[in-house]
């Protein structure tokens, strides 16, 4: 969800810009409200007045950020729900001097199933922006500068927490924390990245999505697949351009008018991602996202994702099955039957398709029987 900014205060000097958005946690979506601290606001005003001061960039995709997250006020119960270490106390020790942050310095910490804030609380942590390890923290860092600190208020989205396991969100539970950015390395926006770099991020998110789904972190898996799709879509123009070049080169070779290219030129023109491979990866991501949405009881979204997958790869059996499941959940039995029949065409021995078609037929009988009973009561 795009951030929404609101202002609070009696005059311009006291105006506080509050940014709100929804972040994805293993327990479900949480609403986050972020505001700069008083010290930050003074620094912002000072930098605006000093026109000679060069602009300071914020962390971008791939940046290694040295960050510390601390709870402002929380009970022991809330502390344990935010991080897996309920007895951990915030540390006031300053961050260690790190003139150069290297890739091997990133802090390893697993995603906790029962955690809202994923980073170890109270400690200075080095995380890579864009990996989705802690969506709340990363979203805060995107708008911060080195040395800045902000306050965040978190509350669970109603009916959104841990839908897959049947738990409900506690509307009275809210958490307050501070996020402090010490330093970070340069990163790149998506439009600054090469196609090869984007593809590596896509593959990384796709792999993490599978790992998270297998561990039961369905919300995290859906987030990973969504991140992969957003980056993959930016390669669409690149793939189309290479596909056109390939067709032109093939025509030139058939006419024998294309001069021989050097090995270096061939390497330069070598496609990072073929059109067919691009469609396959995109279809797999939509299909996997559809499965997550089914688990999260989002049949309408699951239907749209599965439909896109079947359009890209008509031979994808899993996507047709998930499309049928989504239609069945929405009580669109005719479309569900079509999807399951298509699956049966692709896999004639599929027991899942046969069972699904039987379930649809039984559901139709029940629906017709109920309709007949209502009509008989109307005219009796």
Mean pLDDT of 71-86: 51
pLDDT in tens, 138-154: 999 998 999 999 999 99
- Closest Cα partner for 37 from 139, 147, 145, 151? 151
What local confidence, expressed as pLDDT, does residue 45 receive? Answer: 42
Per-residue pLDDT for 41 more than 60?
A: no
Confidence of residue 248 (pLDDT cuts 50, 70, 90): low
Cα–Cα distances in angstroms (integers) from residue 258 to residues 66, 129, 249, 294, 308, in the given order: 53, 45, 7, 51, 38
pTM for this predicted structure:
0.79
CA dist 370 and 380 (Å) reads 15
Q: In the structure, what pLDDT confidence band is assigned to residue 260 with cuts at 50, 70 and 90?
A: very low
Q: Which of the residue ranges 123-127, 129-133, 351-355, 364-368 would you say has the lowest mean pLDDT?
A: 364-368
Continuous segment of H or E residues that includes residue 204: helix 195-214
Identify the CA nearest to 37 among candidates 56, 18, 60. Answer: 18
The single-letter DSSP state of residue 328 is: H
Q: What distance in Å separates the CA atoms of residue 20 and residue 6, rounded to the nearest whole number?
A: 8
Query: What is the Cα–Cα distance from 128 to 148, expressed in whole angstroms?
Result: 18
The C-alpha atoms of residue 192 and residue 203 are separated, in whole angstroms, by 18
Query: Burial level of 170, CB count in 10 A (0-12/13-18/19+)?
Result: exposed
Q: Is 127 helix (H, G, I), strand (E, B) or coil?
A: strand
Split at pLDDT 50, 70, 90, the class of 263 is very low
The per-residue pLDDT of the chain, averaged, comes to: 80
The pLDDT of residue 254 is: 54
Indicate whether 99 pLDDT > 70: no
Instruction: Single out the residue of 147, 151, 145 nearest to residue 178, CA to CA.
Output: 151
Q: Domains, the chain, ranges and CATH?
A: 4-41+66-85+99-187 (no CATH), 198-249+273-372 (1.25.40.10)
Residue 100: band (very low, low, confident or very high) from pLDDT cuts 50, 70, 90: confident
Higher pLDDT, 111 or 223: 223
Rounded Cα distance between 170 and 164, Å, is 16
Q: How far apart are CA 48 and CA 81, in angstroms?
A: 39
141 touches 181 (CB < 8 A): yes
- Other residues' Cβ atoms within 10 Å of the Cβ of residue 376: 9
Q: Alpha-carbon distance 109 to 120, whole Å?
A: 8
Give the distance, in angstroms, between the CA of residue 206 and the centroid of all CA atoms in the same chain: 10
Please determine, for residue 76, whether its predicted confidence score (pLDDT) is greater than 60: no
Q: What is the predicted pLDDT for the residue at 348? A: 94
Report the percentage of the chain scoring pLDDT > 70: 71
User: Is there a contact between 28 and 163 (Cβ–Cβ < 8 Å)?
Assistant: yes
**Diameter of the chain measured on Cα atoms:** 87
Residues paired with 34 in a beta bridge: 19, 152
Q: Tell me, what's the pLDDT at 46?
A: 43
Confidence check: pLDDT of 288 > 80: yes
What is the pLDDT at residue 26?
86
pLDDT tens-digit readout, 185-216: 999 988 899 999 999 999 999 999 999 999 99
Sequence-separated (6 or more) residues with CB below 8 Å from residue 7: 15, 16, 17, 18
Residue 50, pLDDT > 90, answer: no
Sheet holding 28-36, edge to edge: 4-8, 16-25, 28-36, 149-156, 175-184, 64-73, 124-128
**Residue 223 in contact with residue 135, Cβ under 8 Å?**
yes
Residue 48 pLDDT grade (very low, low, confident, very high; cuts 50, 70, 90): very low
Residue 65 backbone dihedrals phi, psi, to 5 degrees: -115, 130
Question: Given this model, what pLDDT does residue 89 score?
Answer: 46
């Amino acid at each position: 969800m795009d951030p929404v900014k609101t202002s609070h205060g009696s005059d311009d000097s006291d105006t506080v810009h509050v940014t709100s958005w929804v972040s994805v946690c293993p327990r479900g979506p949480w609403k986050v409200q972020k505001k700069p601290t008083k010290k930050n606001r003074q620094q912002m005003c000072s930098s605006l007045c000093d026109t000679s001061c060069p602009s300071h960039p914020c962390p971008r995709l791939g940046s290694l950020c040295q960050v510390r997250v601390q709870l402002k006020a929380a009970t022991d119960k809330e502390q344990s729900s935010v991080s897996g270490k309920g007895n951990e106390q915030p540390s006031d020790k300053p961050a260690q001097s790190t003139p150069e942050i290297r890739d091997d310095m990133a802090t390893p910490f697993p995603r906790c199933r029962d955690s809202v804030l994923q980073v170890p609380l109270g400690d200075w942590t080095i995380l890579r922006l864009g990996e989705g390890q802690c969506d709340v923290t990363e979203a805060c860092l995107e708008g911060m500068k080195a040395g800045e600190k902000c306050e965040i208020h978190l509350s669970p989205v109603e009916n959104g927490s841990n839908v897959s396991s049947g738990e409900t969100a506690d509307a009275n539970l809210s958490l307050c924390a501070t996020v402090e950015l010490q330093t970070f390395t340069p990163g790149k926006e998506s439009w600054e990245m090469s196609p090869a770099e984007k593809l590596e991020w896509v593959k990384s998110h796709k792999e993490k999505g599978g790992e998270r789904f297998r561990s039961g972190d369905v919300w995290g898996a859906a987030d990973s697949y969504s991140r992969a799709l957003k980056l993959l879509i930016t390669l669409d123009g690149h793939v189309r351009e290479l596909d056109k070049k390939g067709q032109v080169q093939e025509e030139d070779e058939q006419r024998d008018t294309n001069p021989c290219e050097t090995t270096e030129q061939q390497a330069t023109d070598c496609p990072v991602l073929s059109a067919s491979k691009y469609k396959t990866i995109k279809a797999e991501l939509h299909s996997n996202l559809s499965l997550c949405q089914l688990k999260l009881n989002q049949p309408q979204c699951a239907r749209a994702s599965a439909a896109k997958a079947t359009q890209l790869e008509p031979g994808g059996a899993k996507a047709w099955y998930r499309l049928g499941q989504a239609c069945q959940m929405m009580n669109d039995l005719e479309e569900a039957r079509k999807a399951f029949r298509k699956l049966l065409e692709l896999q004639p021995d599929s027991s899942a398709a046969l069972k699904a078609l039987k379930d649809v037929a039984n559901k139709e009988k029940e629906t017709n029987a109920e309709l007949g009973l209502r009509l008989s009561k109307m005219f009796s």
